[in-house]
Amino acid sequence: MMRSEARGAAGEGKLAVVSGGSGGIGREIARAVARRGYRTVLIARREEELRCVVQELGRWAPSTAVAVDLSSRRDLGDLSELLRELGAVDVLVNCAGHGLYKPFLECTPEELHGLMLVHYFAAAALVHAVLPSMLARGGGHVINIGSMSAKMGPWGHSGYAAAKAALASLTETLAAEHQGSGVHFSIVHPGLVDTPFFAHPPLDRLRERFERRLVAPERVARAVTALLDRPRLQVCVPRAYRVTDVLAAVSPALLHHLVARSSRPTPRPARRP
């Protein structure tokens, strides 16, 4: 695990910890909170990209990079200890993750375990590290980035959707356990987001199919920063996806049919000789 020096001028400001901060949604969230004056600690595997983001954020507020593999128990243990040493973390955003798009029987146990490890167990470990100090101060906000797949169970998402569903359940349980404590818990469920997440096979086929429905990562970041002003337990991005909750209540079978049909991959057209 690598820890960089803080960048940017010293100053007052709340502290936000963002995992997955080297790119995609995490990077945009880090930018958004830094612009609001939050000091940031960014966590990700890709050291070079992480340093570039930290240098950029230094224009608005001090930022620190922590290059760590969240699938490594040793690294995760070191990171948890570091976060405990930080003390007053005001906002934790769990955004790190990776995807998998293929039938359950083609997934290896190692792949399924890896998804649960990064999306759920690592996130839970970070919450475990920062929550005691939040409760002691009577304030703080834990924001977990989920996925609409956790609410709908689309084709090829058995491991990913299950891990995100576990993260959503954790968020709801924490909110129930600490209601009235002054600490807020939120789960943000984005739809398909235009990030490098979909830039490799077989997820690229999903991107091709839903190109027009992709939302910008900045849109998710705006939803996250809006929660800092008005805490809510659950947010869907875009808001229109809230209709899935209505469909699930009225006709679960219809929702399942629509999601299964739309998420199933279509065969690529044969190339002409």
Q: Catalytic residue positions? A: 160
* Biggest CA-to-CA distance, the chain: 69
Residue 30 Cα distances to 4, 16, 55, 63, 258, angstroms: 16, 8, 12, 9, 35
Residue 151 Cα distances to 200, 220, 257, angstroms: 24, 17, 14
Phi-psi region of 185 (alpha: psi -120 to 50; beta: other; left: phi over 0): beta
266-271, long-range: CB < 8 A, 24+ apart: 266/209, 268/205
Respond yes or no on whether the N-terminal peptide bond of residue 109 is cis (omega within 30° of 0).
Answer: no
